[in-house]
């Protein structure tokens, strides 16, 4: 049997496995207050269109119970709540307390109270019984998970038979010219924006690096299948800058 890996990547650096969650938590604690503003600046507002499309094509229906992992400031939960209706429920989960508190405050400000719960949790060890959710969503969060395979297995475990996982994440850009522009924006513009707006260039350097270290479309698809998901499909958005992965628990 192979010995377990003792290091993992934190951006382009190798760090002890036990340290990554703490380091990621420090990044998101730093950026929580201006997370949405920075997302708008980084993507020129396009992230909102990606998220709306993600929710609109999720297949979530009235009465569903949905777990939104890495729910952050509540963007996805706010889009899902009208879909689940008065008989459904959304659980907004995040490992980072600052992000979760920011999300709760913003959801309250928007009038979202009913059929909504919050949970501080680790995606690698979900505090829920087997087969209790109709859908699990995670948007722009999987790349920050230390053990992605464990997280995918946990998503599979908590889904009901017939339930589905939906992953929205940065992926591999398919157009070479666009990829060169994207690289420039990520590594030259993004850290400077972080320094100007948040006073933290280092965190946004990590976020750019974490995108490059995340599995590409085909690799993530294979990981989902290995976790037990069936009928896994991939849909690229914006030439693969982001992709939606969907899989079912049969």
Among 17-31, 49-63, 128-142, 145-159, where is mean pLDDT lowest? 17-31
CB 20 within 8 A of CB 146: yes
Is 59's pLDDT higher than 60? yes
Q: What is the mean pLDDT of residues 197-217?
A: 83
Over residues 140-154, the pLDDT tens digits come to: 999 989 999 999 999
**Measured between alpha carbons, how far is 129 from 127 in angstroms, rounded to an integer?**
7
Query: Would you tell me how many other CB atoms lie within 10 Å of the CB of residue 178?
Result: 14
Predicted local confidence at residue 5, as pLDDT = 65
Tokens of 13: 């650096």
Beta-sheet pairing, 242-248 with 159-170: antiparallel
Domains of the chain: 23-175+204-248 (3.40.50.150)
Is 170's pLDDT higher than 80? yes
CB 112 within 8 A of CB 76: no
Predicted local confidence at residue 246, as pLDDT = 98
Query: For residue 246, what are the CA distances in angstroms to 138, 146, 158, 243?
Result: 11, 21, 16, 10
Is 18's pLDDT higher than 80? no
CA atoms within 13 A on the CB side of 142: 32
Predicted local confidence at residue 112, as pLDDT = 95
Residue 149 has φ and ψ, to the nearest 5°, of: -65, -40
Predicted local confidence at residue 203, as pLDDT = 77
**Measured between alpha carbons, how far is 81 from 89 in angstroms, rounded to an integer?**
7
Cα–Cα–Cα angle for 31, 37, 43, rounded to 5 degrees: 105
**Measured between alpha carbons, how far is 67 from 138 in angstroms, rounded to an integer?**
8
Is 52's pLDDT higher than 80? yes
- Which comes out higher in pLDDT, residue 168 or 202? 168
> Which 3-state string (H, E, C) describes the chain?
CCCCCCEEEECCEEEEHHHHHHHHHHHHHHHHHHHHHHHHHHHCCHHHHHHHHHHHCCCCCCCCEEEEECCCCCHHHHHHHHHHCCCCEEEEEECCHHHHHHHHHHHHHCCCCCCEEEEECCCCCCCCCCCCEEEEEEECCHHHCCCHHHHHHHHHHHEEEEEEEEEEEECCCCCHHHHHHHHHHHHHHHHHHHHHHHCCHHHHHHHHHHHHHCCCHHHHHHHHHHCCCEEEEEEEEHHHCEEEEEEECC
Predicted local confidence at residue 153, as pLDDT = 98
Predicted local confidence at residue 105, as pLDDT = 93
- The band of 171, judged by pLDDT with boundaries at 50, 70 and 90, is very high
Predicted local confidence at residue 29, as pLDDT = 76
Is 95's pLDDT higher than 90? yes
Instruction: Say what percent of the chain tops pLDDT 90.
Output: 64
- The band of 3, judged by pLDDT with boundaries at 50, 70 and 90, is very low
Is 4's pLDDT higher than 70? no
Is 55's pLDDT higher than 50? yes
CB 243 within 8 A of CB 236: yes
Q: What integer best gives the mean pLDDT of the chain?
A: 90
Is 207's pLDDT higher than 60? yes
């Amino acid at each position: 049997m192979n010995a377990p890996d003792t290091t993992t990547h934190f951006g382009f650096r190798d760090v002890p496995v036990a340290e990554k969650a703490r380091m990621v938590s420090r990044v998101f604690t730093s950026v929580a207050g201006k997370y949405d503003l920075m997302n708008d600046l980084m993507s020129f507002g396009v992230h909102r269109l990606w998220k709306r499309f993600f929710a609109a094509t999720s297949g979530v229906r009235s009465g569903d119970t949905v777990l939104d992992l890495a729910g952050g400031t509540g963007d996805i939960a706010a889009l899902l709540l009208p879909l689940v209706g008065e008989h459904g429920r959304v659980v907004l989960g995040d490992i980072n307390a600052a992000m979760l508190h920011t999300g709760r405050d913003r959801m309250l400000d928007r009038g979202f109270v009913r059929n909504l719960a919050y949970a501080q949790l680790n995606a690698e060890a979900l505090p829920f019984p087997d087969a209790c959710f109709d859908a699990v969503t995670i948007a722009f969060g999987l790349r920050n998970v230390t053990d992605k395979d464990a997280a995918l297995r946990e998503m599979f475990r908590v889904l009901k038979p017939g339930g589905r996982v939906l992953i929205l994440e940065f992926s591999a850009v398919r157009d070479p010219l666009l990829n060169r522009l994207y690289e420039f924006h990520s590594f030259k513009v993004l850290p400077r924006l972080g320094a100007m707006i948040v006073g933290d260039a280092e965190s946004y350097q990590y976020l750019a690096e974490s995108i490059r270290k995340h599995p590409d479309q085909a690799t993530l698809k294979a990981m989902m299948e290995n976790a037990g998901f069936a009928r896994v499909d991939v849909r690229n958005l914006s030439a693969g800058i982001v992709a939606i992965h969907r899989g079912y628990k049969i």
